[in-house]
Amino acid sequence: MKNLDRLFSEWLKKTFVLISLVILSIFSASEYSVAQSNLPIVSEAAYNGFDITLVSFAQGRKIDMVSERITERIAERALKLAAERAENKAATKAEIKAQIKAEAMATRRVADRIKNTDKIRIKRKSAIAAHRKERKIKKKALNRMRELPELYDDNGFKAINHELLILAKKDSFLNIDEKNYPITERKYLAGLDMVLIKVSSPKNKNLSQSASEMKSLIDNADISLNHLFIPEFQDTDDGNAPYTITDISQSLNLTTSDATGIRIGLIDTMVDTSHSALINQAITIEDFVPYDKERPKYHGTAIAAILVGHDPDKYKGIAVGAKLYAASVFFKYDKTKVAATTESLILALDWLVRQKTSVINMSLSGPPDPLLEIAINKVMEKGSIIVAAVGNGGPAAAPLYPAAYPGVVAVTAVDKQQHVYLQANRGRHVAFSAPGVNIPTANAGGGYQIRSGTSIAAPFVSAILAELSPENGTVNIVKLLEKNTIDLGKKGFDSTYGYGLIQAVSTQVSALKSD
């Protein structure tokens, strides 16, 4: 029985070897070939009716050696597979970690994008709100603009019909009959520290009568018509040689100077700041026209260029580098006529006081207006100098305003030969003469044009005064210039040339004493 068990186990062993050979052939072609060439030859052997005979492998290999080799190969393969599985597991784990990290970063990016989108949305919403607010303000401003009413003839001067202006101290109690004179507008003027009130007068009454009636009712304020004022120059084409910038510099004793820091005010038409002589200059514009009318640019552009214009190799103003604050007050009416109202002039003066301008140029003229005179006096009290053109009414014309108001520097025009401009007004109020005939200056829309008039002369005086005007306002610059002019016409002061042709003075102003 023991022999049977031993023999049976041997048979199982040999069977295992054969099966192992088959497995090895799958994993190794070379082992498979060896196994194929060395298959055992089995013959019968007798045991319990069966004869089992085992023969050895060809070439003398023993089954035990083959078995050991196969076992080693299987073990190596198993180890290799285990290592590959471990490596694949590690790689998979790393991939999973990388994927988790990538997903987290993607989630963070999405969150950031949502956050940024919210910011952009909020910013866009704010921009839209600001745009709507701006449109609302513009619409409101347009709604405030009204059609130009019919005009009233006030002894040869024009005024807005059925409209009166009242200028009073801010705390004044005014006994206004609002039933017959309803208040249409009330404005506090912070620069002048006064209140400007506009009332409507009865349609069935003459405007001058209405003004007289209002004056009888109110004794603590000034009342006037809303007069019209006009600019004072004309285009010139008389064939005479122009008064060039070089000629002007020599005749006025001008020297190269830096006007940086100087603030000059201009009350005129709109200014074309796109002109090559003005595009790079420091110009701030404010519009004070209340009507839905065209704002011309030709006059203000010409005056602004004389003051601060600079176009290299082509044109240079007197106070290049100065800051110009330009108040737009003129509008077109009756197709070709241009005018500004008393109301606009007062509002412009108030604004220029708040801008702390040292000199204000007013190249315009009109009738005497008590409210404008009060406003100008307030401006001068605060330290600003007012320069105005005497007007182009001719030698026999009555004085025009604001030039004829006391304290205002009134300027007339002269040509290259220092002869007075034929159409200039005369009078004891004329202070200085300045170039104003055949003067090249900027043209709105581009280019340059020769122009003449007392309006053209005024900015030369304004620029010279601005460069001399002390910040503390304690020195009487006008008196200084009166003593340093080139005398023209009759010896000494006269009503045609004033004190004479103005001259730039290089004296240290801060060292001078006030008279």
Architecture of domain 229-511: 3-Layer(aba) Sandwich (3.40)
- Cα separation, 440 vs 442, in Å, equals 7
What CATH code would you report for 151-228?
A: 3.30.70
Per-residue pLDDT at 94: 79
- Cis peptide leading into residue 402 (ω within 30°): yes
Per-residue pLDDT of the chain (515 residues; tens, 9 = 90+): 545 455 545 666 666 666 766 665 565 545 444 444 544 444 444 444 444 444 444 444 555 666 677 777 777 777 778 777 777 777 777 778 787 888 788 888 888 778 777 777 776 776 676 566 556 544 544 555 567 778 898 888 999 999 999 999 988 888 888 888 999 999 999 999 999 999 999 988 899 999 998 888 888 899 999 999 998 766 665 556 678 777 888 889 887 777 888 999 999 999 999 999 999 999 999 999 998 889 999 999 999 999 999 999 899 999 999 999 999 999 998 888 999 999 999 999 999 999 999 999 999 999 999 999 999 999 999 999 999 999 999 999 999 999 999 999 999 999 999 999 999 999 999 999 999 999 999 999 999 999 999 999 999 999 999 988 665 343 478 888 888 899 999 999 999 999 999 998 764 333 333 33
Per-residue pLDDT at 52: 41
3-class DSSP assignment, residue 327: strand
Task: Return the H-helix or E-strand segment holding 45.
Answer: none
Is residue 291 packed enough to be buried (19+ CB in 10 Å), middle (13-18) or exposed (0-12)?
middle
Per-residue pLDDT at 463: 93
Q: How big is the chain, counted in residues?
A: 515
Domain with CATH 3.30.70 in the chain: 151-228
Burial 98-133 (b: 16+ CB within 10 A, else e): eeeeeeeeeeeeeeeeeeeeeeeeeeeeeeeeeeee
Write down the residue that tokens 């053209």 correspond to: 456
> Cα 309 from chain centroid?
20
Cα 32 to Cα 27, 77, 78, 169, 446: the distances in Å are: 8, 15, 18, 122, 102
pTM for this predicted structure = 0.70
Per-residue pLDDT at 77: 78
3-class DSSP assignment, residue 385: strand
* Helices and strands, number each (H, E), in the chain: 10, 22
Domain with CATH 3.40.50.200 in the chain: 229-511
Per-residue pLDDT at 403: 97
Per-residue pLDDT at 238: 56
According to DSSP, the residues that pair with 420 across neighbouring strands are 414
